[in-house]
A and B are shown apart, each in its own frame.
Chain A
Amino acid sequence: GQQLNQSPQSMFIQEGEDVSMNCTSSSIFNTWLWYKQDPGEGPVLLIALYKAGELTSNGRLTAQFGITRKDSFLNISASIPSDVGIYFCAGQLGGSQGNLIFGKGTKLSVKP
């Protein structure tokens, strides 16, 4: 099936640091979404992107829809402890009926 390559798989943050993660695919996507998931809970929608090149912010989060439509980036500025969790990218292929394809996630943890 279709795959989204999400990186990094995990990262450690110190409060105040900026964080970057990305998703790439060999296929063209019409929509990119970014979710955050806490343990034992469902994913929570953070940002939705609908146009190639689009840059959208939600508070300290900024995401971009890649020009090639095959990638997307999420940046978190000035991280805080509650940013800890697993971040997923998800894409919707052109011609599909709305089902999302998810990456494997980036796990954000706090540096000891």
Chain B
Amino acid sequence: DTGVSQNPRHKITKRGQNVTFRCDPISEHNRLYWYRQTLGQGPEFLTYFQNEAQLEKSRLLSDRFSAERPKGSFSTLEIQRTEQGDSAMYLCASSLTGGWYEQYFGPGTRLTVT
């Protein structure tokens, strides 16, 4: 079990550019979550997948954000036309289903929009 991995770990981009992050969950976990964390705050939920189905999206997930999990394994989070307010740590977590909500987080991708 190698844990949740995320790539890249750091991304610096200019305002208006598109960025894409990748998350590889723990292999037997069928639920995958995306969170965003800004400085001094706890993580905030963005969206989650059960297998390949995106089941819930937060109001924080604007139209510029899109997430996919095409084969129910890894997931990507894309931000289009980045804004300075998008600068944050983007965290991915995974869990099993069946009533157990122990979510295991990856190391995160730190996005800086200049």
- Does A105 sit within 8 A of B, measured CB to CB? yes
List the A side residues contacting B106 at CB < 8 Å.
42
A15 to B21, CA, bound (A): 39
Q: Are A98 and B95 in contact (CB under 8 A)?
A: yes
Contact yes or no, A101 B45, CB < 8 A: yes
Complex: how many Å from CA A94 to CA B77? Answer: 27
- Inter-chain contact A98/B107, CB cutoff 8 Å: no
* Contact status A102-B44, CB under 8 Å: yes
Contact check, A97 vs B48: say whether CB atoms are below 8 A apart.
yes
Task: Answer yes or no: B110 CB below 8 A from chain A CBs.
Answer: yes
- Complex: chain A residue closest to B44, CB-CB: A102
Chain B min CB distance to A15 (Å): 26
Chain B residues with Cβ below 8 Å from A28 are none
* Complex CA–CA separation, A35 to B42 (angstroms): 10
The complex places the Cα of A102 from the Cα of B48 at a distance, in Å, of: 16
For the complex formed, measure the closest distance between the CB of A106 and the CB atoms of chain B, giving whole angstroms.
11
Q: Given A44-B105, A45-B102, A48-B101, does the pair A102, B42 have CB atoms closer than 8 Å? A: yes
Is B105 touching A33 in the complex (CB atoms < 8 A)?
no
Task: Identify which of A33, A48, A97 gathers the most chain B CB atoms within 10 Å of its CB.
Answer: A97
A residues contacting the other copy or chain, number (CB 8 A): 24
| Nearest opposing residue in chain B for A32, CB measure | B101
8 Å CB contact of A31 from B101, B105, B107, B110? B101
Whether B2 sits at the interface, judged by CB under 8 Å, is no
**CB distance A41 to B108 under 8 Å?**
yes
Q: Is A88 an interface residue (CB 8 A)?
A: yes
Name, among A33, A41, A100, A101, the residue most crowded by chain B CB atoms within 10 Å (CB to CB): A100
> Is A98 a contact partner of B31 (Cβ separation < 8 A)?
yes
Q: Is the CB of A48 within 8 A of B110?
A: no
Partner-B contacts on A (CB < 8 A): 4, 6, 31, 33, 35, 40-45, 48, 88, 90, 92, 97-105
19 sample A-B contacts, Cβ–Cβ < 8 Å, listed by A number? A4-B42, A6-B42, A33-B101, A42-B91, A43-B43, A43-B91, A48-B100, A98-B31, A98-B33, A98-B101, A99-B48, A100-B43, A100-B101, A100-B103, A102-B42, A104-B40, A104-B42, A105-B40, A105-B41
